[in-house]
């Protein structure tokens, strides 16, 4: 399982992350210039498919059902983290965050 993260200019993510099946993984995103009215959005691009919206949030913690996990937004909203609790081979994708 591998996850590649990228985003627009004001969003910064690590270039890649890897884990094994059923081993949780955290994908971090930094958005230091986020405005108070902007929403944090995470989506993924599976091989050969179009983009899939995973979750969007303004603050706090939001659960995901498929893939299982959650999005956590820092109190100052300058960063967020997508936690995939039990990733499967089918979850290998490019994961994007955006604001």
Strands (E), 31-92: 40-45, 51-57, 60-65, 68-73, 79-84
71 neighbors 40 (Cβ within 8 angstroms)? yes
| pTM beyond cutoff 0.95 | no
Domain ranges of the chain: 24-98
- Architecture, CATH, for domain 24-98: Sandwich (2.60)
37-94 pLDDT, tens per residue?
899 999 999 999 999 999 999 999 999 998 999 999 999 999 999 999 999 999 999 9
């Amino acid at each position: 399982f591998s996850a590649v993260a990228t985003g627009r200019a004001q969003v910064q993510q690590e270039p890649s992350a890897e884990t094994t099946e059923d081993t949780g993984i955290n994908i971090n995103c930094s958005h230091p210039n986020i405005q108070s009215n902007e929403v944090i959005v995470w989506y993924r691009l599976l091989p050969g498919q179009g983009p899939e919206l995973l979750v969007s949030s303004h603050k706090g913690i939001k659960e995901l059902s498929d893939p299982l996990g959650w999005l956590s937004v820092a109190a100052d909203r300058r960063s967020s983290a997508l936690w995939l609790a039990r990733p499967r081979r089918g979850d290998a994708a490019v994961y994007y965050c955006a604001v």
